Amino acid sequence: MYKQIVINMADHETRVALLEDGTIAELFIERKDGTDSAGNIYKGRVQRVLPGMQAAFVDIGLNQAAFIYVDDVIGERIEDVERYFNEKKKLEESEPEASEENEGSQKNGRKDSVFARQNIEGLITEGQEMLVQVAKSPMETKGARITSHVSLPGRFLVLMPTSDHIGISRRIEDPVERDRLKEIVSSLRTEQMGYIVRTAAEGVRPEKLAYEMGFLKNLWEGVKNKYNSMPAASLLHKELSVSLRAVRDLLIQEAEKLIVDSRAGYETIRSFLDTCMPSLKDSVELYEGREPIFDAYNLEGDISRALKRKVWLKSGGYIVIEHTEALVAIDVNTGRYVGKHNLEETITKTNLEAVKEIAYQIRLRDIGGIIIIDFIDMEKKSNQEKVFNSLQDALKKDRSKTNVLPMSEMGLIQMTRKRVRKPLTRLLCEPCFYCEGEGYLISKKTICYNMYRDVIRDSRDMLGKRLTLRVNPEIAELLYGEESHLILDLEQQIEKGVVVYPNPEFHMEQFDILEILS
């Protein structure tokens, strides 16, 4: 399978698409609002301890207080830490391997944690300062989920300062290579800290592993020094930007090529590769075409389709994806597909086709948490097993950890998928005030950014000296205020004056681009 990364960079937003054989498989979006804080390390202060929930709220400097569960807390007392390491070692010896999905984080939230049996008020107190890492970014009304179990990912290794375990990625299957890597890391390790050896380390020389171990240790020492010198609610370490994360986690390990449409971004990526993987610099390409890069690769249509509630299948059937507070429900329907022979065959074919689309949409939309899939009822047990096995096979491409339960008697499949960030629909959309929050509109910022791209796209064929943008008054207000830099940027890029004209009769998502010749 040929994989490549396509990056669209602007001052206000960066979009990274992973393509598999020319089809978008994953999409990552980063905006300057700072909502994506996963991986960041903070010095926080405990605001409130909740014994009834065995959790606590911690101020880390974000708009909402973060929360931490008892399983994610390492005690401050010496005897707590020693007991933690002893119990942790016993547990890790019973599960000695590391999965690829968990390469960037430790096994947080485990029910068999040594502290799951201890009350949280015995570990932390209100007003206490603590070093924490964001495990899950803020979502909806929930603050960020944080943990004391810090992990620092590199390209070959993940450093785990609160563990002394050495794990090898399950994707490295050769037992000789696994033993070689474990022996190298064990011999190079000088302190009681854990490591996970990532898939990219397969075949790597000991000198490179030693260099990265030293780099990660120095990074951790820097974090600790900042913790001692900075006040509470301070950022101690910021995770890499989305474009550099794509280089570290995708280009080095999976993709064969990276194309970016920004000269500054191109230079930054090449500079980053200079320090970690110079041999991959030739895999990075600067896109200089006149057509916007996502249009050139036909990605905008797939992104728009990923925001729809209903997704049609080629046969004429369709699936419906519904987000609720607790879970995501996916319903499969035959739609216009009537089959050729009998009902059981028609239903089975529809379900098997839906399986591929469901796995694709879950990955593209980055849907996490509990997912319930309602397949069309099948009478034969063999057909049920065929659909279940097909779903498991389709999910193997997904880098996020999934757990799928067998189909129930009611034709339901229950599954979970690791959730770290907002799903695509929550990131690009907001509750619709037209229907009092029962549905979703494209957010005002997304409308502004879409309009920005449309103007760039259409401007090369315009002969006029000025452009008028007719928009909904609320969009006009945003363009005059918080997003005024978009207008200035447009005028510089297209070398024409741009005037925004509010029209109260326009729907929120509606806008017109008018060319003024004189």
Tokens, residue 488: 């200035």
Query: Tens digit of pLDDT for each residue in 396-431?
Result: 989 888 999 999 988 899 999 988 888 898 888 887
pLDDT at 436 over 70: no
Query: Tens digit of pLDDT for each residue in 234-280?
Result: 999 999 999 999 998 888 777 899 999 999 999 999 999 888 778 88
DSSP 8-state code for residue 289: -
Start-to-end C-alpha separation, the chain: 53
Pairing outcome for strands 369-374 and 327-333: parallel
SS3 268: helix
What is the distance between the alpha carbons of residues 415 and 156, in angstroms, rounded to a whole number? 30
pLDDT at 110 over 60: no
Query: Tens digit of pLDDT for each residue in 304-343?
Result: 999 999 999 998 999 999 988 889 999 999 887 766 678 8
Report pLDDT for 419.
83
Report pLDDT for 367.
94
What is the distance between the alpha carbons of residues 153 and 38, in angstroms, rounded to a whole number? 12
pLDDT at 97 over 90: no
What is the mean predicted confidence (pLDDT) over 130-144? 87
Question: Which comes out higher in pLDDT, residue 145 or 77?
Answer: 145
The CB-based long-range contact list for 228-234 (8 Å cut-off, 24+ gap) reads: 230/43, 231/43, 232/43, 232/44, 232/45, 232/59, 232/129, 233/42, 233/43, 233/44, 233/45, 233/59, 233/60, 233/61, 234/42, 234/43, 234/61
Mean pLDDT of the residues in the chain: 86
Query: Given the structure tokens 């001692």, which residue do they identify?
Result: 228
pLDDT at 162 over 50: yes
Question: Which comes out higher in pLDDT, residue 460 or 238?
Answer: 238
pLDDT at 290 over 50: yes
pLDDT at 106 over 80: no
pTM: 0.79
Q: Residue 107: pLDDT band by 50, 70, 90 thresholds?
A: very low
